[in-house]
Amino acid sequence: MRKEYDFSKGKRGAIIPSEGKTSITLYLDDEILATFQERAETAGLGYQTLINEALKAYLKNSSEQSLTGKVRSPIL
């Protein structure tokens, strides 16, 4: 160990994560998760990457109105 450390460029608090991805907790049906895991293994990808790509494709091919109509109507 050094006798002294230079903290002049140090910052307090948690490290700010880089932009681009956010870690979340998401509950999925067991069969949905198993299917993504199987397909990801076949494709040589991570299952989380495959889920992310599937969500991107869905959003790209769906209009905002149809998305909110499908998601909110069963809840209300």
Q: Where are the domains of the chain?
A: 30-75
CA 76, distance to chain mean position in Å, is 26
Query: What is the pTM (predicted TM-score) of this model?
Result: 0.60
pLDDT value at residue 73: 57
Q: Of the candidates 20, 46, 2, 9, which has an alpha carbon nearest to the alpha carbon of residue 38?
A: 46
Q: Could you read off the pLDDT tens digit of each residue along the chain, which spans 76 residues?
A: 889 999 888 877 777 767 888 889 999 999 999 999 999 999 999 999 999 999 999 999 887 656 566 665 555 5
pLDDT value at residue 36: 97
Say which amino acid occupies 21. K
Find the distance separating the first CA and the last CA of the chain, reported in whole Å.
61
pLDDT value at residue 11: 77
pLDDT value at residue 22: 87
Q: How many Å apart are CA 21 and CA 19, to the nearest integer?
A: 6
Whether 70 and 58 have beta carbons less than 8 Å apart is answered as: no
